[in-house]
Amino acid sequence: MADGRFRLVPVGPDNVALVGEVFRAVYGEGYVDPVVYRPESLLKKIAQGQLAGLLALDPAGRPAGYVALGSTAPNHSLWEEKGLIVVPGYSKTDAGTALACHFGDRAVWPAGVDGVFASAVCHHYFSQVICAKAGWVVSAVQLDLFDAAILSDRPEDVDRISCSLFFSPMPPAAVPCYWPAAYFDVMAALAEERNDPPGAISAAQLPVTVTTDLEVIPLPTSDSMKVNVFRVGGDWAAAVERLVAEARRRRALSVQLFIDTACPSIGEAVRVLRARGFFFGGLAPRWFGSDGLLMQQVFANTRYDLIRLYPDTAAKLLAFIRADRLAVGQERG
């Protein structure tokens, strides 16, 4: 496949070592996912159907950039576009646009993938504009997600990088979704942007005889934690206390928690989370097969003035998130 002066080629045994060259040119050895520096590990992920990588090569065969799709969500039919980078010296060419647009084409997705999402950085517009032009919809904003020090193009006064989550069009969830009453309007607006039906208001209490089922994914190189909540149980309050304690022990600056909206008691679960400092982050369509509600807690002073958002719906979402964060703080005193 060719695009102008660049060839776009899948990552395989003959060129996998070039992936590390691309990342070293931009991040040195400091990229948050060390697998990009390990050719054998990359090839293993590709062979196991967990990753699809793409390189942009110039006419001399030198690597100009890289992008990948990877299985990172609990729903293995929803993959993440990740690792889009361009080698310095090619930043003013069309290499980045060609790579970004490639996986916007459903026809090139791996077999079994029916949706794609991307974490678009919020210190510039480029990746957000590319996602929007591909027809993907911004559904969440993750505050202070990782350390800006790993980025070569960061403004000098940016310490933490926030990201917008964009999701491609997908078939509707196959199971009923429940929404907390406190967030019904904002979630309805996000769903409407995607032409998805609204959920039902959650009115159920925590199930006393059920145990919470979740996974914690520490991301130490970015000073953050990701949490996937598959089931909310009667022990939910204690589980949240342990999560907050774990975040503080790890000195995480950002905790991103996804709850399955198939849980009928999600409204009560959110009440407990808010009491422990969590606030709204957005909607994660088909995160679990059913949708995910993103709640987040940030142990940092967010520089909102340095966040750049596209399109206008993303700015409106951030305004709601800021207001909810303030309200949570006031409710906790």
pLDDT of residue 34: 86
Is-same-fold flag (2-167; 178-332)?
yes
More confident residue, 202 or 89: 202
pLDDT in tens, 7-61: 999 999 999 999 999 999 988 887 878 899 999 999 999 999 999 999 999 999 9
The CATH code of domain 178-332 reads 3.40.630
Query: CA-based angle 99:314:226, to the nearest 5?
Result: 75
Instruction: Write down the mean pLDDT value for the chain.
Output: 93
Mean pLDDT of 120-125: 91
Contact 165, 286 (CB under 8 A): no
pTM of the model: 0.92
More confident residue, 271 or 82: 271
Contact 199, 261 (CB under 8 A): yes
Work out the number of other CB atoms within 10 angstroms of the CB of residue 23: 22
pLDDT of residue 164: 97
pLDDT of residue 1: 46
pLDDT at 4 over 70: no
- Nearest Cα to Cα of residue 83 among 62, 60, 66: 66
pLDDT at 294 over 70: yes
* DSSP-assigned beta bridge partners for residue 178: 200
As a whole number of angstroms, the distance between CA 269 and CA 154 comes to: 37
pLDDT of residue 100: 83
pLDDT of residue 20: 96
pLDDT in tens, 204-223: 999 999 999 999 999 887 89
Cis peptide before 171 (omega within 30 of 0): no
Q: At what angle do helices 312-332 and 184-193 cross, to 10 degrees?
A: 160
Amino acid letter, residue 227: V
Contacts of the segment 183-192: beta carbons below 8 A, 24+ positions apart: 183/270, 183/280, 183/293, 186/280, 186/317, 186/320, 187/283, 187/293, 190/137, 190/139, 190/282, 190/283, 190/317, 191/283
- Nearest Cα to Cα of residue 122 among 105, 103, 141: 141
Percent of the chain residues past pLDDT 70, beyond the cut: 98
Q: How confident is the model at residue 242 (pLDDT cuts 50, 70, 90)?
A: very high
Lowest pLDDT segment from 72-86, 90-104, 171-185, 304-318: 90-104
C-alpha 57: how far from its chain's center?
27
pLDDT of residue 154: 64
pLDDT in tens, 253-262: 999 999 999 9
Percent of the chain residues past pLDDT 90, beyond the cut: 77
pLDDT of residue 2: 46
Domain ranges of the chain: 2-167, 178-332
Structure tokens of 100?
């970004």
Domain 2-167 has CATH 3.30.70.1710: no
pLDDT at 83 over 80: no
pLDDT in tens, 148-205: 877 766 667 788 999 999 999 998 899 999 999 999 999 999 999 999 999 999 999 9
Contact 55, 84 (CB under 8 A): no
pLDDT of residue 188: 98
Lowest pLDDT segment from 47-61, 88-102, 180-194, 231-245: 88-102
> Three-class SS of residue 4?
coil
pLDDT of residue 194: 95
